[in-house]
Amino acid sequence: MAPLREGARKAALGATASARLVRAWLPALSLGLVLVAIAYLNPRAISYFGFSLMLNLAIPIVLATIAQMFVITGNELDLSIGPFVGFVGCVTATWLNDAPWLGVAALVGAIGVYAALGALIYLRNLPSIVVTLGMSFVWQGLAILMLPKPGGKAPDWLVGIAGFTPPLVPLPIVAAVAIAAIVHFGLMRTSYGAILRGSGGNPTALARAGWSLLKTKVVLFALAGLFGVLSGMTLISITTSADANIGNGYTLLAIAGVILGGGEFVGGRVSPIGAVVGALTMALAASPLLTFMHIPPDWQVAANGAILIIVLAARALVSRRED
Amino acid sequence: MSPGPAPIIVKLDGAEKHFGAVRALEGVDFSASAGECVGLVGHNGAGKSTLMQVLAGALAPDRGRITVAGAIQEHFSVTRAQKLGIRCVFQELSLCPNLSVAENARINHPSLRGMTWRRKAARLIAEKLDEIFPGHDIAASTIVRDLSIGRRQMVEVARAFTITQDPLDLVILDEPTSSLDAHTASQLLAFVRRFVAGGKSCVLISHLLGEVLKNADRIVVMRDGKVAAADAVSAFDRDSLVAVMGGAVRRANPALEGARPVQEGRALRIRARPARQGNGAELVAGEGEIVGLAGLSGHGQTDLLLAIFSAAGRHKAGIEVNAPVALVAGDRQSDGIFPQWSISENIGIRSLAKLRNGLLISPRREAELARVWQQRIHIRTPDMDHNILSLSGGNQQKVLFARALGSDARIVLMDDPMRGVDVGTKLEVYDLLREEARNGRTFLWYTSEIDELDNCDRVYVFRNGRIVAHLDRSDMTEEKVIQSSFSDAN
């Protein structure tokens, strides 16, 4: 009887392990599916030029997704990342071009505001959804004040960086790989990265071991601010001019990217590589795929939502099997 | 042979700790010396966990003095305790489930930094696991979430014994074997003996009396926030421990001495078998009975009550419920009251069908119901339309009783409802429950206070999710209840 039970236990463990494997590969699988669909609909899109074009706007989304991922690591949610990216875009297209030092100071200050929000949320025990929802209107308002109507101009050096064409592999893919590698190292491999993730996994245990939860929260929010700034700047480097509403769609894209990439809303379970893959999937599914499917622009947002629901439902099914 | 008494590692003088009206520690003296394993035993709420948290720096005592290695500690904290060589394995698992075993080791060792920290942390925890649990199958790279509960406990215990820069003199183990099987538990206890033999010290808290008697050098028995007895292990045996823990004399309860009708011939109301029972024992309750659920907290009583509650709504295997059910929650803040609502609304919520007037709730009938119950259960408030939070804790609990008793439920499930309630309120509610039982209501009453079992007709004692004893009112004594709660049958 004992070996029989042991066998059953191993089988159960095996099932869990395979579900885990499926789950780990689900982000890559969904990206692969989208790519296959695109290749089927329009074989010419699978080329250096095609990818450059399709992934043109992917890097700002990837960076915003990473920003959101840091916030989710600490069991919080940032509903202001989209308007924040828009605000950064407006600063980049105006002050950073006209008065670089003022622009740099404004962007550094914005990161400081993010860090302060983390401290506020921790110290007053406020729900981050409420605080960041409020902040989204603040960022939006500031952006409109800076740039009441679309315009401005990206600094030339920034446009120059965006125009770089590496050999063989298009720039967006190179950038995505670099971002994934750097953030993976920082969050998953460094000793303080383990503490940051632990603050989402079991905050009580962390506090008992003598770590400051205030500090982890501030660091996570500051990192979110930093990547939000990078997102806004890269966005303007591509569009070359700004609009106060330019980042508004990013909030949901970023959340979807993190979850699509295997992250969980609570429990400190996040994956930087997964988040980058999830963001690329969202970027491709958001517009190129639907255009190739001849879905009229009026319906693209709805179709986007449908794709999201299908992928997340598949993930929910896999996670349930795992438990 | 020995050159004088062994040095005292930690000493507590006159420690007091109150949580509101609950006095968890009432002047406790405690000490642990080098080279000894101190066993700490006591029933639920005796103050063991509070004492342990004070020793580990997680709680500051209201009064009293902590001395570590001869130096009085003014600002004692977890970090300070760690620096002074005191570690604690808390009862609820304190690992981060999303991190690997090695990363969890890193959390307790700030000095594990630099480029090679992953390798160092992995080696540290793996070596300790090998030392304590030879033959274990835990890899340092495994994510803790993927480990079984027993393996998690092994990691947690091993982590407490790892050493980097801070010294290690005393480890407090709170129920360290609760999730371990017999083999790993004996490995751990053998390691504890080796650890102590090396001149270190250990505090072992356990509900398994045999384990404590076999492995401790000295035993401290706690009861009602005080040290009831403390002596060398040779001064105790199983029975004397049980006697000291529970008190020998059973309190007389004259109100109950009157004969109660026997159980035969009553309509059956509940028949339920705990999910993990394994044998044929089941819980049975008839009309007009007060049935007690006893045993150590967290041993399946609440689970069974909740299972019965959900079985009233839809069919559930192994549970038969023949009448409408209401539940009186024990944790009133999170499971009981609606904090935004008035007292009347809090009472009426279980009886909406009765209070309805067309599609709306009739305020007149709601007020009427509230008024009746204000008088019957003596809710002390000038106005039942005031917010529920304007009441004291005991009166809030009365509101929850009124909600259940004012409803059409013929079965009332009570999940340790008297936690933190003052004596006056308790006595009033006891009277009311007996009166309601005479009128044919059935009560299932889980309580962590043994005295309350005096109000029950019969008592089922739970251990590890199973019914281990069924005591009739005539042969129920406090000792028997404690004896069964601590039965070592694993």
Average pLDDT on A92-99 reads 94
A120, A211 in Cβ contact below 8 A? no
Instruction: Band the pLDDT of B21: cuts 50, 70, 90.
Output: low
- Cβ within 8 Å, pair B113-A16: no
Average pLDDT on A158-164 reads 90
A307, A315 in Cβ contact below 8 A? no
**Cβ-nearest to B97 among A202, A210, A211:** A202
- Cβ within 8 Å, pair B107-A197: no
**Cβ-nearest to B95 among A20, A205, A269:** A205
Strands ordered across the beta sheet of B319-321: B283-286, B268-272, B319-321
| Chain A: closest CA distance from residue B99 (Å) | 7
Going from the C-alpha of B267 to that of each of B280, B291, B441, the distances in angstroms are 21, 15, 11
- Cβ within 8 Å, pair B96-A20: no
- Cβ within 8 Å, pair B108-A209: yes
Average pLDDT on A86-111 reads 95
β-strand partners of B415 = B446
Alpha-carbon distance A282 to B222, whole Å? 60
pLDDT, greater one: B150 or B100: B100
Total domain count, chain B: 2
Q: A202 contacts in B (CB within 8 Å)? A: 94-97
Six-digit token string for B212: 């404590």
A146, A241 in Cβ contact below 8 A? no
Average pLDDT on A226-242 reads 95
Q: Which amino acid is at A155?
A: P
Specify the DSSP class assigned to residue A179: H
Six-digit token string for B354: 């009765």
pLDDT of A136 over the 70 cut: yes
Residues B304 and B427 in one domain: yes
Alpha-carbon distance A232 to A255, whole Å? 17
Residues B217 and B307 in one domain: no
Amino acid B207: pLDDT: 77
Whole-number average pLDDT of chain A: 89
Amino acid B3: pLDDT: 53
**Whole-number CA gyration radius for chain B:** 25
pLDDT, greater one: A51 or A225: A225
Taking the alpha carbons of B341, B347, B350, B352 in that order, is the dihedral positive or negative? negative
Q: A205 contacts in B (CB within 8 Å)? A: 94-96, 107
- Cβ within 8 Å, pair A198-B94: no
Amino acid B259: pLDDT: 37
pLDDT digits (tens, 9 = 90+) for A101-114: 999 999 999 999 99
Burial of A314 (0-12, 13-18, 19+ CB in 10 A): middle
- Cβ within 8 Å, pair B107-A191: no
Alpha-carbon distance A64 to A183, whole Å? 13
Cα within 13 Å of Cα(A263), Cβ side: 35
Amino acid A2: pLDDT: 40
- Cβ within 8 Å, pair A205-B94: yes
Residues B463 and B417 in one domain: yes
Average pLDDT on B453-476 reads 87
Amino acid A165: pLDDT: 87
Alpha-carbon distance A215 to A192, whole Å? 11
pLDDT, greater one: B482 or B408: B408
Question: For residue B39, which of B224, B201, B180, B154 has the smallest C-alpha distance?
Answer: B201
- Cβ within 8 Å, pair B107-A195: yes
Q: Which of A207-211, A257-261, B17-21, B196-200 has the lowest mean pLDDT?
A: B17-21
Residues B324 and B220 in one domain: no
Q: Is residue B1 part of a domain?
A: no
Q: What b-and-e string marks burial along A154-173, b requiring 16 or more CB atoms within 10 Å of the CB?
A: bbeebeeebeeeeeeebbbb
- Cβ within 8 Å, pair A20-B146: yes
Structural fold of domain A28-317: ABC transporter involved in vitamin B12 uptake, BtuC (1.10.3470)
Q: State the CB neighbour count (10 A cutoff) for residue A230.
A: 21
A198, A206 in Cβ contact below 8 A? yes
Instruction: Band the pLDDT of B1: cuts 50, 70, 90.
Output: very low
Q: Decide which of B226, B246, B266 is a domain's last residue.
A: B246
pLDDT of B413 over the 70 cut: yes
Residues B215 and B265 in one domain: no
**What is the chain B residue with the closest CA to A186?**
B115
Q: What percentage of chain A carries pLDDT values higher than 90? A: 61
Q: A215 contacts in B (CB within 8 Å)? A: none
**What is the chain A residue with the closest CA to B147?**
A13
- Cβ within 8 Å, pair A211-B96: no
Amino acid A320: pLDDT: 66
Question: How far is residue A9 CA from its own chain's centroid?
Answer: 38
Q: Is residue B317 part of a domain?
A: yes
Six-digit token string for B183: 């083999």
| Chain A: closest CA distance from residue B331 (Å) | 21
Q: Say whether B82 sits in a helix, a strand or coil.
A: helix
Amino acid A17: pLDDT: 66
Alpha-carbon distance B298 to B310, whole Å? 19
B409, B325 in Cβ contact below 8 A? yes
Phi, psi (5° rounding) for residue B100? -80, 170
Amino acid B290: pLDDT: 93
Average pLDDT on B388-393 reads 83
Whole-number average pLDDT of chain B: 86
pLDDT digits (tens, 9 = 90+) for B149-169: 889 999 999 999 999 888 999
Q: Is residue B195 part of a domain?
A: yes
**Cβ-nearest to A201 among B96, B117, B146:** B96
pLDDT of A322 over the 70 cut: no
Average pLDDT on B383-403 reads 88
B78, A210 in Cβ contact below 8 A? yes
- Cβ within 8 Å, pair B110-A210: yes
**What is the chain B residue with the closest CA to A202?**
B96
Alpha-carbon distance B90 to B143, whole Å? 20
Phi, psi (5° rounding) for residue B373? -80, -25
Amino acid B263: pLDDT: 53
Residues B287 and B415 in one domain: yes
Alpha-carbon distance B462 to B272, whole Å? 13
Residues B224 and B293 in one domain: no
Alpha-carbon distance B369 to B61, whole Å? 45
Burial of A148 (0-12, 13-18, 19+ CB in 10 A): exposed
pLDDT, greater one: A235 or B329: A235
Mutate to test the interface with A, among B54, B86, B93, B98 (most CBs of A within 10 A): B98
Amino acid A5: pLDDT: 45
Amino acid B141: pLDDT: 92
pLDDT, greater one: B104 or B426: B104
Interface of A with B (CB under 8 A): 16, 20, 189, 191, 194-195, 197-198, 200-202, 204-206, 208-211, 267-269
pLDDT digits (tens, 9 = 90+) for B38-51: 999 887 667 888 89
Instruction: Band the pLDDT of A1: cuts 50, 70, 90.
Output: very low
A289, A37 in Cβ contact below 8 A? yes
Which residue segment(s) compose the domain that B415 sits in? Answer: 257-485
Amino acid B260: pLDDT: 45
pLDDT digits (tens, 9 = 90+) for A274-314: 999 999 998 888 777 888 888 888 888 788 788 778 877 87
Residues B52 and B201 in one domain: yes
Q: Is residue B130 part of a domain?
A: yes
B400, B431 in Cβ contact below 8 A? no
pLDDT digits (tens, 9 = 90+) for B113-157: 888 999 999 999 999 999 999 999 899 999 998 888 889 999 999
Average pLDDT on B408-435 reads 85
Taking the alpha carbons of A59, A63, A64, A69 in that order, is the dihedral positive or negative? positive
Q: Which of A52-56, A148-152, B21-25 has the lowest mean pLDDT?
A: B21-25
Q: Decide which of B246, B277, B309 is a domain's last residue.
A: B246
Q: Is residue B86 part of a domain?
A: yes
Six-digit token string for B39: 């066993």
Residues B400 and B446 in one domain: yes
pLDDT, greater one: A106 or A252: A106
pLDDT of B95 over the 60 cut: yes
Q: A208 contacts in B (CB within 8 Å)? A: 58, 78, 90, 94
- Cβ within 8 Å, pair A197-B96: yes
Q: Decide which of B222, B246, B270 is a domain's last residue.
A: B246
CB–CB contacts below 8 A, A to B:
59
Tokens 């969202």: give the residue: A282
H-assigned helices in A55-94: 58-73, 81-93
Amino acid A15: pLDDT: 56
| Chain A: closest CA distance from residue B210 (Å) | 27
Describe the crossing of helices B117-132 and B182-197 by its angle, rounded to 10 degrees.
Answer: 100
pLDDT digits (tens, 9 = 90+) for B230-241: 999 999 888 888
Q: B94 contacts in A (CB within 8 Å)? A: 202, 204-205, 208
- Cβ within 8 Å, pair B90-A200: no
Q: Say whether A75 sits in a helix, a strand or coil.
A: coil
Interface confidence, given as ipTM, is: 0.88
Mutate to test the interface with B, among A10, A16, A191 (most CBs of B within 10 A): A191
pLDDT of A36 over the 50 cut: yes
pLDDT of B409 over the 70 cut: yes
Q: What percentage of chain B carries pLDDT values higher than 90? A: 40
CATH number of the domain enclosing B405:
3.40.50.300
| Chain A: closest CA distance from residue B30 (Å) | 23
Mutate to test the interface with B, among A189, A208, A215 (most CBs of B within 10 A): A208
Residues B232 and B281 in one domain: no
